[in-house]
Structure 1
Amino acid sequence: MARVISFFIERHQFRILRICIGILFLWFGALKFFPGLSPAESLATQTIQIMTFNLMPQGMIMPSLALMEVGLGLLLVFSREFKLTFWILFFHMCCTIMPLFILTEITFKDFPFQLTIEGQYIVKNIVIISAAFVLLFQKKNNRIHN
């Protein structure tokens, strides 16, 4: 049984990784459709207001972000084309990291080392970014070896 599981995981490891990341985006994105359910709501709203110079109406911020994250989740789970998905994910991750620089009073207890829970929530995205690069270069390596 262990050999079967090992063979399955080895054969489908990248697809499993994409689906797992996709589930995260689907889950966190879906929460943003319902006011008050996402723990990142306030931080995301403040960040987007700063990044858009308050040009985006506040009532559109969370639904737009929810739609983007759910769409990204669907692309990760169901799309075979990863290059476009990667760039959308990379853009989104760059935006999610911005509060570390523009809202330090919320993301750090003691700059630059002691993160708040919001800061920790952001820093864990390094794993998602790393996984996205693994998926991107996995595709290139498969083309080279095939």
Structure 2
Amino acid sequence: MTNPDIPISRAASRHGPLAIRLSLGIVLFWFGVLKFVPGLSPAESLMIRTVEALTFGVLVGDTARLFVAAVETLIGVALLTGRMPHTALAALALQMAGTFAPLLLFPGEMWRHPFVPSLEGQYIVKNIVLVSAAFALAATVLTRLPEGVPVES
């Protein structure tokens, strides 16, 4: 008797990485583009304060906003096009580290009680899903080897 899960598993293996890459690309591109226009991103103030803190005041105000807008948009474009996947994933890792920074930098705003995030904290914590998706994508991108190169176990 044939296992009915096999076709689903094959389809997921074949199309899952593309779906992850495109969905991450859409999210990063969309949120990045919003940051180019002052006031469109609901997290703008928090993002600017975070970048200012992480860069020790080197990037401030609109410069910080535009920097993050450009980085997120470029990561999104790279993921959507499939170009420079290693660079895109490395940049995404750094971007995600910056995204989680407010949890430590501004704990009074991010947490109502221990393990009870504020609305802003929830906005950040849900990015765990994006990090997990990026790990799954990295597993497929980083294990692809040129033709004829054996995979070590």
TM-score, normalised via structure 1 length: 0.87
Can you list the C-alpha shifts for 1:50-98, whole angstroms capped at 9, x where unaligned? 1111122322111111111010000111024422211110011011100
8 A contact 2:48–2:60 mirrored in 1? no
How far apart are residue 105 of structure 1 and its match? 1.4
Alignment of structure 1 residues 117-136 onto 2, 5 Å: 117-136=119-138
Q: State how far apart, in whole Å, the 2-side matches of 1:100 and 1:121 are.
A: 11
Alignment of structure 1 residues 1-146 onto 2, 5 Å: 9-110=12-113, 112-143=114-145, 144=151
Equivalent residue pairs, number: 142
Q: State how far apart, in whole Å, the 2-side matches of 1:93 and 1:10 are.
A: 26
State, as a whole percentage, how many aligned pairs show the same letter: 37
Other structure's SS at 1:109 match:
strand
Can you list the C-alpha shifts for 1:1-40, whole angstroms capped at 9, x where unaligned? xxx9986554221011100010000111111111111011
Q: State how far apart, in whole Å, the 1-side matches of 2:126 and 2:82 are.
A: 24
1:124 corresponds to which letter in structure 2?
K
Can you list the C-alpha shifts for 1:78-125, whole angstroms capped at 9, x where unaligned? 024422211110011011100000111111111x21101110111111
> Which stretch of the first structure deviates more once superposed, 69-78 or 49-58?
49-58
Structure 2: 5+ residue stretches without partners: 1-6, 146-150
Q: State how far apart, in whole Å, the 2-side matches of 1:12 and 1:81 are.
A: 20
Larger radius of gyration: 2
1:37 corresponds to which letter in structure 2?
L
How far apart are residue 44 of structure 1 and its match? 0.3
Q: State how far apart, in whole Å, the 1-side matches of 2:87 and 2:60 are.
A: 27
Structure 1: 5+ residue stretches without partners: none
Other structure's SS at 1:55 match:
coil
TM-score, normalised via structure 2 length: 0.83
Other structure's SS at 2:68 match:
helix
Provide the alpha-carbon RMSD of the alignment.
2.1
